[in-house]
């Protein structure tokens, strides 16, 4: 079944979806041709889920206004054709009526499918379904050279297909992606399992990833939260169609607080599949507390339509523009604060080591935990790494640790002191750091971690005139 009608039974509806998409592609190509040959190419978009500084530009960008829709959902094949700038909020809205969802749904509604593929994404299904780019069957890419090509795992452009994840728009932009979907059920039954010891949590997490069961029940979704060294939780989700009451965390109740309990047995909960997929968005995990939204007296009068990550982003943008937080700290006699907003991955056997180090050295809590395993075999057609720009090892479990806050700066320390310490520790623990936020690597270390010569060759082939920023310039150098 298609979003626009039954697949194979409504050719007019099918064609109208692709016709609208083609019109959007035409506008995109026309906007590329209108950009001067000596100017950098960029997207003409006002919003972003990146936390690192972006180069300011007044030059016109690529017109992606016609690339924000789901083109087609084929329920029989469990696939979808999706324009690159489509948000996961819209993608999920299109697939759920058919009992389907993307294999991985990143936590925030305004993340785009193209953004998750070029910049990586993760969620509680990643321990069994991998990362978003592993569900891509083929993708149309506008390269830096201005060519519109279709890349797939095999064929003339398989190198771009493999090198696109973690390239952050430095090789090109996705125009259309054909992705796999997976079946879902109307509800998710949750168990919140408390741990008093991080090493016990690590052991349990490792076992659940392999067995996909815990205490006799199937586990379809798995993530966790660390509040302190002696209070942490794994949340185990199970797909179910059993009717019954469900919780609602879009009102006064706050999802991450619902995890906490003292009992020896797991705390149980139930959500609709829709509310489960967006359980973190209402309060931007726990970051809405910075705006007072978790204060019951404020929350009561905070309109529901503004309890979402996209609105909190606007508040963050105002803070960055006018240095509101630093000004307030200065009035209290405090130094400016260093932004520490990061997601990192370490091998599962180093999870407790990293979290213990972090809790000692970086005054931020809670921390989010999310296990993942690549579903790919790990081998590309030429014998190289399957995904060379973010070379996680196949058949190995990693744990994503997410932390999003700020810490006081210390006089005499270099810029980004806390972030630099995190980078060093992650590397020491054989891990990697996502590049959506501030990074401080030197060029040689960055190349060793994020693609090296493989990236250089891709850049030469698909952006020979350097119309797009290179990955180091975009991820590390601040302009």
48, 321, 72, 34: which is closest to 168 by C-alpha?
48
pLDDT at 1 over 50: no
Helix intervals (H) in 85-217: 88-95, 113-119, 126-129, 158-163, 198-211
Residue 160 counted as domain residue:
yes
In a domain, 292, yes or no: no
- Average predicted confidence (pLDDT) for the chain: 91
Strands 367-372 and 398-408: antiparallel
Residue 329 near residue 385 (C-beta atoms within 8 A): no
Cβ-based neighbour number of residue 173 at 10 Å: 24
Strands of 13-126 (E only): list them: 70-74, 79-83, 100-102
Adjacent-strand bridge partners of 102: 181
For residue 382, give the nearest of 154, 117, 151 by alpha carbon: 154
| Residue at 442 is within a domain | no
121 phi, psi to nearest 5 deg: -155, 165
Residue 6: the pLDDT is 42
Range picked from 57-66, 385-394, 429-438 for highest mean pLDDT: 429-438
pLDDT band at 38, cuts 50/70/90?
confident
Residue 478 is predicted with a pLDDT of: 59
Confidence at residue 37, expressed as pLDDT on a 0 to 100 scale = 87
Question: Is 155 a domain residue?
Answer: yes
What sign for the dihedral angle of Cα 401, 406, 407, 411? positive
Q: Tell me the pLDDT band of 53, cut-offs 50, 70 and 90.
A: low
Q: Which one has a higher pLDDT value, 38 or 110?
A: 110
Would you say residue 375 lies in a domain?
no
> Is the pLDDT at 7 greater than 50, yes or no?
no
What digits encode the pLDDT tens for the residues 110-148? 999 999 999 999 999 999 999 999 999 999 999 999 999
Burial 177-207 (b: 16+ CB within 10 A, else e): bbbbbbebeebbbbbbbbbeebeebbbbbbe
Structure confidence at residue 42 (pLDDT): 85
Q: pLDDT tens digits for 450-472?
A: 999 999 999 999 999 999 999 99
Residue range 28-42: mean pLDDT, rounded? 90
Q: Is residue 117 part of a domain?
A: yes
pLDDT band at 327 (very low <50, low <70, confident <90, very high): confident
The least confident of 31-35, 121-125, 361-365, 384-388 is 384-388
Region 419-431: mean pLDDT is: 97
Rounded to 5°, angle at Cα 435 from 433 and 441: 70
Task: Please say if the pLDDT value at position 11 is more than 70.
Answer: no
What is the tens place of the pLDDT at every residue in 386-403?
Answer: 899 998 999 999 999 999
For the entire predicted model, the pTM comes to 0.92
Residues 205 and 401: their CA atoms lie apart, in Å, by: 13
Q: Is residue 210 part of a domain?
A: no
Using CA atoms, how far apart are residues 36 and 154, in angstroms rounded to an integer? 34
Rounded mean pLDDT, 320-336:
80
Which of the residue ranges 20-24, 385-389, 444-448 would you say has the lowest mean pLDDT? 385-389
CATH no. for residue 53? 3.30.465.10
Q: What is the pLDDT of residues 181-213, one digit of tens each?
A: 999 999 999 999 999 999 999 999 999 999 999
Residue 140 is predicted with a pLDDT of 98
Number of domains the chain contains: 1
| Residues 417, 401: Cα–Cα separation, whole Å | 19
The reply to whether 257 falls in a domain is: no
239 pLDDT more than 50: yes
Is residue 373 over pLDDT 80?
Answer: yes
Q: Which domain holds residue 51?
A: 11-183
Q: Tell me how far apart the alpha carbons of residues 353 and 357 are, in angstroms, rounded to a whole number.
A: 6
CA distance 103 to 26: 30
> Could you tell me which residues come within 8 angstroms of residue 472 by beta carbon, excluding any fewer than 6 positions away?
443, 446, 447
């Amino acid at each position: 079944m298609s979003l626009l009608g039954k697949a194979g039974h409504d050719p007019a509806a099918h064609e109208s979806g692709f016709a609208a998409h083609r019109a959007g592609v035409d506008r995109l190509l026309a906007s590329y041709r209108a950009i001067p040959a000596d100017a950098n190419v960029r997207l003409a978009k006002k919003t972003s889920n990146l936390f690192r500084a972006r180069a300011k530009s007044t030059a016109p960008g690529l017109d992606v206004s016609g690339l924000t829709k789901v083109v087609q959902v084929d329920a029989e094949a469990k696939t979808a054709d999706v324009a690159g700038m489509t948000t996961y909020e819209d993608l999920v809205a299109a697939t759920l009526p058919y009992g389907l969802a993307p294999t991985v749904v990143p936590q925030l509604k305004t993340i785009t499918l193209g953004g998750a593929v070029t910049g990586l994404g993760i969620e509680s299904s990643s321990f069994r379904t991998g990362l978003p780019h592993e569900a891509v069957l083929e993708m149309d890419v506008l390269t830096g050279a201005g060519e519109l090509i279709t890349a797939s795992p095999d064929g003339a452009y398989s190198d771009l297909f493999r090198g696109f994840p973690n390239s952050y728009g430095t090789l090109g932009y996705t125009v259309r992606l054909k992705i796999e979907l997976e079946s879902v059920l109307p509800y998710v039954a949750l168990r919140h399992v408390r741990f008093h010891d991080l090493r016990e949590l690590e052991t349990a997490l490792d076992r659940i990833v392999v067995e996909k069961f815990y205490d006799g029940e199937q586990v379809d979704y798995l993530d966790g939260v660390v509040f302190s060294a002696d209070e942490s939780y794994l949340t185990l989700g199970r797909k179910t169609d059993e009717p019954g009451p469900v919780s609602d965390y879009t009102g006064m109740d706050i999802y991450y607080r619902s995890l906490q309990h003292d009992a020896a047995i797991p705390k149980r909960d139930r959500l609709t599949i829709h509310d489960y997929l967006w359980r973190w968005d209402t309060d931007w995990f726990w970051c809405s507390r910075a705006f007072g939204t978790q204060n019951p007296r404020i929350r009561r009068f905070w309109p529901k339509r503004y309890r979402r990550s996209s609105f909190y982003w606007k508040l963050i943008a105002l803070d960055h523009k006018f240095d509101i937080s630093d000004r307030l700290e200065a009035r209290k006699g405090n130094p400016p604060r260093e932004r520490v907003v990061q997601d990192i991955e370490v091998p599962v056997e180093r999870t407790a080591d990293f979290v213990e180090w972090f809790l000692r050295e970086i005054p931020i809590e809670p921390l989010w935990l999310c296990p993942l395993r690549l579903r790919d075999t790990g081998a590309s057609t030429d014998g190289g790494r399957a995904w060379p720009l973010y070379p996680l090892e196949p058949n190995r479990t990693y744990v994503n640790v997410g932390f999003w806050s700020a810490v006081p700066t210390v006089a005499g320390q270099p810029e980004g002191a806390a972030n630099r310490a995190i980078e060093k520790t992650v590397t020491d623990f054989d891990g990697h750091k996502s590049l959506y936020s501030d990074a401080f690597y030197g060029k040689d270390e960055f190349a060793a971690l994020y693609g090296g010569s493989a990236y250089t060759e891709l850049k030469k082939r698909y952006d020979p005139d350097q119309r797009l920023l290179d990955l180091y310039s975009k991820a590390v150098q601040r302009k």
